[in-house]
């Protein structure tokens, strides 16, 4: 995707599908394409999950055992505006019209290839204005300079010796300089992991990064922890 000047869209996906074989195949295919996937086998569990930990996009099978897909979609729409791509086995024009009218952003008809569903996910996220992270051009925040092409970072002209993950973490924070970035966002976009109690991973890397930037949590210069929310990178 580098030829377009954009990184591959990486998203926190919620897959709602009761068929274990399809679920496993989709999780594998979408994870390979860089997405972080959480899955649920039923609509009620999915609704609960959406309220507690909203994903970037929902893949919703219409044939669920506990609640009709159409009703599930209506309920999703009642609580959130998260993009929904519907998965349907029914090649039924009136059903497709019904779910699009109920607020689905797109649909795929089973059977479909992983490439197609990934392309639809990217298209929907592009339209909803999410997850398009510009790469390539160097970034500067105060005395900090990041060159994503060369994977090089300098602080006040001195080269920082960062691991790949530390660089990616710093780069993501620099892209959102001045904004608080949540741990969940970092897990999705830097680690490409579904959220779920892995906060420590982020905290540990932030503390390593802090040490390399020559600062501490008690006396921050660039990296500010906002308690209960996340991390903010800003110029001192």
Q: List residues near Ca ion by CB under 5 A.
A: 18-19, 61, 63
Nearer to Ca ion, 14 or 146 (CB): 14
Q: 27 or 162: whose CB is closer to Ca ion?
A: 27
The residue among 43 and 160 lying less far from Ca ion, judged by its C-beta, is 43
In the complex, minimum distance from the CB of residue 113 to Ca ion, in angstroms, rounded to a whole number? 18
Smallest distance, Å, CB 96 to Ca ion? Answer: 16
Nearest-approach distance from CB 46 to Ca ion, in angstroms: 13
Q: Which two tokens stand for residue 203?
A: 């905290």
Distance CA 32, CA 54 (A): 22
**Distance from C-alpha of 170 to C-alpha of 151, rounded to nearest angstrom:** 11
203 phi, psi to nearest 5 deg? -60, -40
As measured in angstroms, the least distance from the Cβ of 21 to Ca ion is 11
Q: Which residue is nearest to Ca ion (CB)?
A: 63
- DSSP codes of every residue in 194-213: --SS-HHHHHHHHHHHHHHT
- For Ca ion, which is the closer residue by CB, 44 or 204? 44
Take residue 188 and report the two structure tokens written for it. 């999705």
Q: Can you tell me the distance from the alpha carbon of 181 to that of 166, in angstroms, rounded to the nearest whole number?
A: 15
């Amino acid at each position: 995707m580098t030829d377009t000047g954009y990184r591959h869209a990486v998203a926190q996906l919620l897959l709602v599908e009761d068929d274990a074989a399809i679920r496993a195949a989709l999780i594998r295919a979408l994870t390979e394409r860089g997405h972080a996937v959480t899955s649920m086998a039923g609509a009620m569990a999915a609704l609960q999950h959406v309220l507690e930990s909203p994903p970037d996009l929902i893949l919703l099978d219409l044939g669920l055992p506990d609640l009709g897909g159409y009703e599930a979609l209506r309920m999703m729409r009642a609580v959130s505006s998260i993009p929904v791509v519907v998965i349907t086995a029914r090649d039924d024009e009136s059903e497709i019209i019904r779910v699009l009218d109920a607020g689905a952003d797109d649909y795929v008809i089973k059977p479909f290839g992983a490439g197609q569903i990934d392309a639809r996910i990217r298209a929907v996220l592009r339209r909803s204005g999410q997850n398009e992270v510009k790469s390539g051009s160097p970034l500067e925040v105060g005395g900090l300079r990041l060159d994503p092409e060369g994977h090089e970072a300098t602080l006040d002209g001195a080269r920082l010796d960062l691991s790949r993950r530390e660089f990616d973490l710093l780069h993501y924070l620099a892209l959102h300089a001045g904004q608080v970035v949540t741990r969940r966002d970092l897990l999705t976009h830097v680690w490409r992991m579904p959220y779920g109690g892995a906060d420590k991973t982020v905290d540990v890397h932030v503390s390593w990064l802090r040490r390399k930037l020559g600062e501490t949590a008690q006396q921050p210069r660039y990296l500010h922890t906002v308690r209960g929310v996340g991390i903010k990178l800003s110029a001192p």
